[in-house]
Structure 1
Amino acid sequence: MPPGPELAAFTTVFRAADAHRVKRNRQPVSCTACQRRKTKCDRQKPCGACEKRSESAACRFGPPTGPAGRLEVQARLARLEEMVKDLATSGSKNPDVSGNLVKPGFGETLGPETLGDGTEADYHGATSWSALVESIRDIQNVLEAEEDMPPPPDEPADVALPDIFLGDMAPLTMKEVIGSLPSRPDADKLVTTYFNAKFLAVPFVHVHHFRRRYEAFWENPEATSFLWLSIMFSILSIGAMIAKVKGLVGPLLLSVAEPKFYMVRSAQCLITGQYLKAKAFSVEALMMFAHSRNVQKEDSDPTIWAFYGLTVRLAQRRGYHLDAVNVSTNITPFEAEMRRRTWFMIQSSDLLFSFQLGMPPMIYQEVCNADHPRNLIDDDFDEGTEVPPSRPPD
């Protein structure tokens, strides 16, 4: 049966809240005044917006209390309590001359001239005026108790979330990068040691291209991409591992740290360079990091398969699985050949680790049209030159 006209405005007052509604539980970083006005807050104490309005004293930071600030909520509750008291003492009905129920507007106080003769109820149930007044007082007591609690510590505005894949590693600054490197002569020896390792050097890092960027880094570190720095630290890590096995660390390489130290720096450079956004060098940097972890493990590490799996997705986002002509006309022949080398290594790693773990591979050949890399060494081609045909198989 539908409610009468006098109850239509109150049919949703006591309706239960939606149990499936997702509530926001994130701590605010703006002051309560800026939250209420929905204006930008610079998070100073007091903030610039409150200072411009000459309301520095009202600039407060705290947990969310709803659409309005805590002080405004308490003020509204106080006004609501007074209204409920007036209604409780004067009666709940106020007929006009025509016999209809006249409801006061929000914020209006019923004066003696507008009140009719009401009857007081002897029984006070759960929804009576006195019960409503007690409920309002309970809410006010809760708000006052929360005010006495110490405020939560302020969180920095630009806190980077931990990387769910590489772990909770702090981003690097360029000063920390430079401080982590060995001396220039020792770094040169580690790089040379890596590229001379026939079965450890990967083909998707071109030796001449890397050395040019390596020299540019030492001349102007600030202009270097963090993702390329991740590649460099992975190379230093493998070079340090080879030098450690040969007993060169210490007698000949005095400033070289442990291989794991450079590996951690490589991961931090990945996070600082935001590798998950599939930027330039992101695929090669993550592949190089996975390769450095793989070659330095005595036993097979099944987690490395996840690194190669993520590399597959990043490479697909950058179109490495497609022929360069189908991706962009701005890709040079050198870049196209290096993309083919990278994708070939990704396919090989995906098949190898999937077979090792008894899992299906992630790459489906039906959606790939990238050609195989040519049988060339790094001395056969470089930036600004044409890529020659493949060498004979022998």
Structure 2
Amino acid sequence: MSKWRKKFASVLNSSLEQKQVFLTGQKLLIYVAIVVGVIAIFSSLYRFDWAGFGPDSNKSVSVEEAIDPKNGAIIKLTKKTEHFQSGKTLWDWLQLFGTLAVPVLLVILGNQLQSKEKEIADTNLREESLQDYIDRMSELLLDKNLKNLAIDDPLRDTALDVARARTLSVLRRLGKDKERKGSVIRFLIDVELTGEFSLSDAYLEGAYLEGVDLKNAYFSNAYFKDAYLNGANLTNANLSSANLNGANLTGANLNGANLIGANLNGANLNGVQLTSAKLANAQINDGQLNSANLSGANLLNTNLLNASLSNAHLEGTHLEIAMLERVNFSGANLKGANLKGANLKDVNLKNAEIENTCFINVKNLTPEQVKQAKNWQHAIYDPKFLAMLELPSNPAT
């Protein structure tokens, strides 16, 4: 019964959208007719010559010879003829415009209707794909009693393989449908399957996943480009080599998450929790990590070119041999962080806390940069840089 209701609702929505396109076309034709009518009435009332309604004459003079019946003499008769005729005026041009405009408008409206019908058909197809997926997954859960199968039961492994295949397939078929892709993941959360099988290689571009609970989920190599994950719980999730380019992760919890080799270029990570997260070899160019918590995180060899980490927590963070060129660390807490061998060209350390921060063998760091930070005298430097700062050999003590 519920399927029939869904189909009826789908047909009803389709017919309503088609009617809307038709009414839009009618309105357009009415507007054109009103404009033409107003111009015609105005011109006829005020009879401007240029409008084609005023007097416009074409005079001609002809001379004819005739015989006077009284004396037989030949006389000349002058005959004047005046023809009233308008040239090509505004009214004529309006008529021509109307003749050409109607078929053009019909073609435009026809194309709009076809485009809308295709859009409706695609939407209905995606909705059918989603409903079919949910129905089949529900059958799998109920008929195979998936939730109650023992962990070592071969039937359980088979059922989970089927569930994974169906999930990855429907996500690909949904294409760039942000809402329905989000619905697939929310369904898996509701039936408690997100931690049961791998969603590696899942296609989730632009998916709406705000506030979802995906802790311990496995999304290795998944495609999350431009996805909405703000406020999501991704604690201990596996996102290694995942593509999160441009994703919105504002306020998300990624504590302990595996982001090794992940692409976070241009991602919004403001206020994100990344305590003890693994970000080695990750790409975070132009990333926004203002006020983020990366305490104890591993960013070994991570690329943070042009990233902003103002007021971020980086206590004890591993940033060895990281690319930190033009990074904004203003107001950040780098106490005890390890930046050994990192590239610090044009880094902003204004008001950053760098007590016990390791700057040994860093590249492109200047005394002027360091002296903008707090407790710069108590950071750890190599002997050459200590001499440049005119500090004793062991300032950390």
Q: Classify the TM-score, shorter chain.
A: 0.3 to 0.5
**RCO comparison, higher one (Cα < 8 Å, 6+):** 1
Larger radius of gyration: 2
Q: Which has the higher helix share?
A: 1
Q: As a proportion of its length, which structure holds more strand?
A: 2
TM, length-normalised to structure 2: 0.33
